[in-house]
A and B are shown apart, each in its own frame.
Chain A
């Protein structure tokens, strides 16, 4: 089958300096954005400019430079909050999405989950949305349960209803978009059903915010965690959005400077939101950088980015199955999945697939993608995974397909 290559819906490759690189004399084809995204010049320059012109510690300095840095950082927080339809006070900066989930597991979980209670997550979660709940359940005597994943890589709302009806679930944790299957989960539906059953919901939005419009005011989740580095921003910054009443009632997670209102020898009182959950010096440059990344995404428009990713995913789903012995995991309808395609090739382990793709300067991920329980559910030890962002084009998919064919040749298949 041949598909006529069309003009890319969005062509912003010139904004990403790393894409000018060659590896082994071949143009770099980066297909691992689900792991971390590449960075636009606009974001890099915002961080560079901060260190060159406005660097000072924030929140405390009386001098003008410190105020400039504070304004840049808190301005970024305001724009990041608006970008996903949340408010400034309930947008908390963390180190990454993992820390955001841990914050909820320790602070909310420690105060609200006990023996006999249940935490309900799904078989398609990233380890970051499994292990904190395993540890919470071990600490509190609660039970961790998993919603199953169907053959097509989807969750069942009927199964959710059945588990919720048993009346023991205190929290439902679910990924918005699977980092392996690409499945877009019906998180608004899930949050509504959980709330009706008296449970709170935590959604892991790490794969969703970078590639589709997310409006938390419509979504209705109690907690929503994501990370900056997958959304064209720097590493070292994640975000937790939470419902205000819950955040106000929760005890602090990490403690130290900046999160206090006052400290005496006898005890301390807590700062207001969002600072109550931000102990120590903040990731200032990272926040400013993420603000610039969000501005960049906003300028292109998340609906255009989503259309671009859907086009690439549809093209990839059609093209990779041209490779003999290749099988794709997850929903086959590109409208129901994000920009990620996991696959396996008979007779070649995914590690070897990734190694041979690398010879062609095509970067794909191989392994369990931090989702070992899901690998077991799919009955595969590992998969290879290609994932896309706004800077990819159909010709990148063509390069992948050529590399996969070459891998089969090396293996004498």
Chain B
């Protein structure tokens, strides 16, 4: 089995969870990876200060799409104030694969977009 394109990565790429749009949403953010043109947006429904529902949408490589899908399952239920605390390592540990420096931004785009939605901070997660 390929060490980067593991079965669960390809599964999330081909069948992304929480993917699409939400007509009624409280938070909306969109961003891209300028290196490759990958684009990702998110719609979030907030209830009682928590992420009740979210949908990512956009296009990108297997790593960026799978990372968004895998992250989405963890992000639902988190309190909004927890989101800015989520680090790059949090997401990369979640993926469970070695990410080369050239693919790091692919993996982190979903976290960047989610943090942008909650705080307006458009910087890359560290």
The answer on a CB contact under 8 Å between A382 and B37 is: yes
Tell me the count of chain B residues lying within 8 A, CB to CB, of chain A: 17
Chain A residues, CB < 8 A from B60:
349, 351, 381
Chain A residues, CB < 8 A from B2:
410
Chain B stretch 95-112: residues in CB contact (< 8 A) with chain A: 103, 106
Per-residue CB contact flags for chain A residues 387-413 toward chain B (1 = under 8 Å, else 0) read 000000000000000000000001110
Pairs A-B, 10 closest by C-beta atoms: A351-B61, A349-B61, A368-B37, A367-B36, A352-B62, A381-B59, A410-B2, A352-B61, A410-B5, A382-B37
The answer on a CB contact under 8 Å between A351 and B5 is: no
Residue among B37, B39, B63 with most chain A CB within 10 A: B37
Query: How far apart are the CA atoms of A27 and B86 in the complex, in Å?
Result: 42
Assess A411 versus B10: contact at CB under 8 Å? Given A349-B60, A351-B61. Answer: yes
B100: nearest chain-A partner, CB-CB? A355
The answer on a CB contact under 8 Å between B36 and A366 is: yes
Query: How far apart are the CA atoms of A20 and B98 in the complex, in Å?
Result: 29
A409: nearest chain-B partner, CB-CB? B2
* Contact of A271 with B by CB under 8 A: no
* Contact of B38 with A by CB under 8 A: yes
Query: How far apart are the CA atoms of A225 and B65 in the complex, in Å?
Result: 39
* Contact of A375 with B by CB under 8 A: yes
Among candidates A348, A352, A375, A410, residue contacting B37 with C-beta atoms closer than 8 Å: A375
The answer on a CB contact under 8 Å between A351 and B10 is: no
> Can you name 22 A-B pairs with beta carbons within 8 Å?
A348-B62, A349-B59, A349-B61, A349-B62, A349-B65, A351-B38, A351-B103, A351-B106, A352-B5, A352-B62, A355-B103, A367-B36, A368-B37, A381-B37, A381-B38, A381-B39, A381-B59, A382-B37, A410-B2, A411-B5, A411-B62, A412-B10
* Contact of B4 with A by CB under 8 A: yes
Chain A residues, CB < 8 A from B63:
351-352
Chain A residues, CB < 8 A from B5:
352, 356, 410-411
For the complex formed, measure the closest distance between the CB of A385 and the CB atoms of chain B, giving whole angstroms: 13
Query: How far apart are the CA atoms of A351 and B103 in the complex, in Å?
Result: 9
A347: nearest chain-B partner, CB-CB? B14
* Contact of A57 with B by CB under 8 A: no
Per-residue CB contact flags for chain A residues 333-372 toward chain B (1 = under 8 Å, else 0) read 0000000000000001111100110000000001110001
The answer on a CB contact under 8 Å between A368 and B36 is: yes
Q: A349-B65, A381-B60 are in contact. List 14 more A-B contacts (CB 8 A).
A: A349-B61, A351-B36, A351-B60, A351-B61, A351-B63, A351-B103, A352-B61, A367-B36, A368-B37, A372-B37, A381-B39, A382-B37, A411-B10, A411-B62
* Contact of B24 with A by CB under 8 A: no
Query: How far apart are the CA atoms of A46 and B39 in the complex, in Å?
Result: 45
Tell me the count of chain A residues lying within 8 A, CB to CB, of chain B: 17
Assess A367 versus B61: contact at CB under 8 Å? Given A352-B5, A355-B4, A411-B10. Answer: no
Query: How far apart are the CA atoms of A368 and B38 in the complex, in Å?
Result: 10
Query: How far apart are the CA atoms of A348 and B63 in the complex, in Å?
Result: 11
Chain B stretch 28-62: residues in CB contact (< 8 A) with chain A: 35-39, 59-62
Chain A stretch 313-349: residues in CB contact (< 8 A) with chain B: 348-349
Query: How far apart are the CA atoms of A351 and B65 in the complex, in Å?
Result: 12
Chain B stretch 72-120: residues in CB contact (< 8 A) with chain A: 103, 106
Chain B residues, CB < 8 A from A352:
5, 61-63
Per-residue CB contact flags for chain B residues 1-13 toward chain A (1 = under 8 Å, else 0) read 0101100001000
Chain B residues, CB < 8 A from A372:
37
Residue among B5, B35, B59 with most chain A CB within 10 A: B5
The answer on a CB contact under 8 Å between A367 and B35 is: yes
Query: How far apart are the CA atoms of A185 and B37 in the complex, in Å?
Result: 26
Chain A residues, CB < 8 A from B37:
367-368, 372, 375, 381-382
Chain B residues, CB < 8 A from A381:
37-39, 59-60
Chain B residues, CB < 8 A from A412:
10
